[in-house]
């Protein structure tokens, strides 16, 4: 009996499809029309879904491989300084490796915060990158409110270089070693003035580490940047200074300044005769003004990995290592995860020190 009704319904459906509805009973005409409409709707939906999937697949297949256009590399300090030197050295290698031009964009101001903020708010597509020193990434974040979250709004790619801070003294003091400086500073508290490039900058914090670890009293004299600080140092208006090796190296080589020590665990290739603070039994006086490469937060991991791969390969090249070494830098080139962990540790370390001395970010 069940088979009989099945045959009747199928007969009604096909009669409907052929337009031969008049011969069917009323109840069968209604059933046949409903069945036909349902199958038509299902077919339309299936066709539409297939078309959408096909278009999606075609769009993915046609998506250009990264990078398909030029890349903007923001350096958050003006041209001519260490950040600019390292940024341009990296840009010159990334361009050929990626097959696209890498354009350096100097966006200085507010100790690097303006350029960093511009990248933090840029589209996370890999076409805006940042080269920055420790200041606006780690130190400032530890002591002041910033327009960006240094650990969330930026995606670490790799640590490019470590640049140890080097301690120098003017020759007229007659001081040629760090132990000599410490001995004289203890004999005459408050006598020596140390210059810095500004409050809470790495040169300032390196001097504060020396005061704390050596137990000496030296007076901080902040300047607005490296140029005026070095000019006053050469003029004898201040006595000693910590700064990035590239800033002071020409004056050390010319004999205008005496190099006493570098704040590092190992000697720098550009100043092989200058001992480290670790060698001089001051292991706590470690001050590296490092520089890193970052992208906006949310940049796809595939792009981060590609940028990391080509950058690390460039940093391992003998040519770039020699170029950076001549500038007093020590190439690094680690993984995104290692750089992220390093950034967290540095934010805590320098923030704690800066807060303990009441330093304000300028």
Residue 345 binned pLDDT confidence (cut-offs 50, 70, 90): very high
> Is 19 domain-assigned?
yes
Mean pLDDT of the chain: 86
Residue 362 binned pLDDT confidence (cut-offs 50, 70, 90): low
Residue 51 binned pLDDT confidence (cut-offs 50, 70, 90): very low
Question: Which is higher by pLDDT, 193 or 201?
Answer: 193
> Is 329 domain-assigned?
yes
48 alpha carbon, distance to own chain's centre: 45
Percent of the chain with pLDDT over 90: 65
**Rg of the chain taking only CA atoms, in angstroms:** 33
CATH number at residue 298: 3.40.190.150
> Is 153 domain-assigned?
yes
Last residue of a domain, one of 62, 90, 106: 62
> Is 20 domain-assigned?
yes
- Judge if 295 and 158 occupy the same domain: yes
- Minimum mean pLDDT range among 73-77, 84-88, 358-362: 358-362
- Judge if 34 and 94 occupy the same domain: no
- Judge if 151 and 187 occupy the same domain: no
> Is 96 domain-assigned?
yes
Give the model's pLDDT for residue 31.
44
- Judge if 123 and 96 occupy the same domain: yes
Length of the chain: 362
Cβ atoms of 163 and 82 closer than 8 Å:
yes
Nearest to 209 by CA among 171, 258, 162, 264: 264
Pairing of strands 193-196, 219-222: parallel
74 forms beta bridges with 105, 130
pTM, two decimals, is 0.77
Nearest to 72 by CA among 100, 95, 103, 101: 103
List, for residues 116-158, the tens digit of each pLDDT value. 999 999 999 999 999 999 988 999 888 888 999 999 999 999 9
Tell me what the mean pLDDT of segment 339-345 comes to.
97
> Is 281 domain-assigned?
no
Give the model's pLDDT for residue 2.
44
- Judge if 232 and 210 occupy the same domain: yes
Question: Which is higher by pLDDT, 197 or 303?
Answer: 303
- Judge if 258 and 307 occupy the same domain: no
List, for residues 286-305, the tens digit of each pLDDT value. 998 999 999 999 999 999 99
CA 179/CA 194 separation, integer angstroms = 16
- Judge if 153 and 79 occupy the same domain: yes
Residues with Cβ < 8 Å from 263, sequence gap 6 or more? 164, 165, 166, 167, 206, 209, 242, 276, 277, 285, 286, 287, 288
For residue 184, pLDDT over 60 is answered with yes
> Is 346 domain-assigned?
yes
Laid out side by side, the sheet with 258-262 consists of 219-222, 193-196, 240-244, 165-169, 258-262
- Judge if 79 and 54 occupy the same domain: no
Laid out side by side, the sheet with 71-75 consists of 102-106, 71-75, 128-133, 291-296, 154-162, 330-331
- Judge if 145 and 183 occupy the same domain: no
- Domain range for 85 is 71-163+290-356
- Judge if 156 and 305 occupy the same domain: yes
- Judge if 88 and 116 occupy the same domain: yes
- Minimum mean pLDDT range among 11-25, 271-285, 334-348: 11-25
Give the model's pLDDT for residue 80.
81
Give the model's pLDDT for residue 186.
97
Q: What angle is formed at CA 68 by the lines to CA 62 and CA 70, rounded to 5 degrees? A: 160
Q: Does residue 161 sit in helix, strand or coil? A: strand
Please state whether 163 falls in left (phi above 0), alpha (psi between -120 and 50) or beta: beta
- Please tell me the total count of domains within the chain: 3
> Is 269 domain-assigned?
no
CA 117/CA 29 separation, integer angstroms = 70
CATH number at residue 188: 3.40.190.10
Token readout for 61 is 């297949």
Last residue of a domain, one of 216, 243, 262: 262
Nearest to 130 by CA among 114, 149, 144, 146: 114
Last residue of a domain, one of 262, 282, 309: 262
Half-sphere exposure of 3 (CA within 13 A, CB side): 0
CA 140/CA 275 separation, integer angstroms = 29
- Residue in this structure with the two tokens 């041209």, named with its chain if needed: 79
Tell me what the mean pLDDT of segment 61-74 comes to.
87
- Judge if 169 and 258 occupy the same domain: yes
């Amino acid at each position: 009996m069940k088979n009989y009704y099945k045959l009747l319904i199928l007969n009604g459906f096909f009669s409907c499809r052929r337009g031969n509805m008049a011969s069917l009973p009323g109840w069968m005409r209604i059933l046949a029309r409903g069945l036909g409409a349902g199958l038509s709707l299902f077919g339309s939906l299936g066709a539409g879904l297939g078309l959408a999937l096909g278009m999606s697949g075609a769009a993915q297949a046609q998506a250009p491989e990264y990078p398909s256009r030029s890349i903007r590399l923001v350096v958050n300090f003006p041209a001519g300084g260490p950040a600019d030197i390292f940024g341009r050295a990296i840009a010159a290698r990334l361009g050929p490796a990626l097959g696209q031009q890498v354009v350096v964009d100097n966006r200085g101001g507010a100790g690097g915060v303006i350029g960093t903020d511009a990248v933090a708010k840029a589209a996370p597509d890999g076409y805006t990158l940042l080269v920055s020193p420790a200041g606006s990434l780690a130190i400032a974040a530890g002591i002041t409110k910033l327009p960006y979250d240094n650990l969330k709004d930026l995606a670490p790619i790799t640590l490019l270089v470590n640049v140890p801070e080097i301690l120098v003294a003017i020759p007229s003091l007659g001081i040629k070693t760090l132990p000599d400086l410490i001995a004289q500073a203890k004999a005459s508290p408050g006598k020596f003035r140390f210059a810095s490039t500004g409050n809470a900058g790495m040169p300032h914090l390196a001097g504060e580490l020396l005061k704390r670890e050596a137990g000496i009293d030296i007076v901080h004299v902040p300047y607005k940047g490296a140029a005026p600080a070095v000019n006053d140092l050469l003029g004898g208006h201040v006595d000693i200074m910590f700064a990035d090796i590239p800033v002071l190296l020409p004056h050390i080589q010319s004999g205008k300044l005496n190099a006493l020590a570098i704040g590092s665990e190992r000697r720098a290739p550009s100043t092989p005769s200058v001992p480290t603070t670790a060698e001089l039994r001051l292991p706590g006086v470690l001050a590296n003004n490092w520089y890193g490469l970052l992208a906006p937060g949310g940049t796809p991991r595939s792009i981060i990995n590609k940028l990391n791969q080509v950058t690390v390969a460039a940093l391992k090249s003998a040519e770039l290592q020699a170029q950076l070494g001549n500038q007093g830098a020590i190439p690094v080139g680690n993984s995104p995860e290692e750089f992220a962990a390093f950034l967290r540790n540095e934010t805590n370390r320098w923030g704690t020190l800066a807060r303990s001395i009441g330093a304000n970010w300028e």
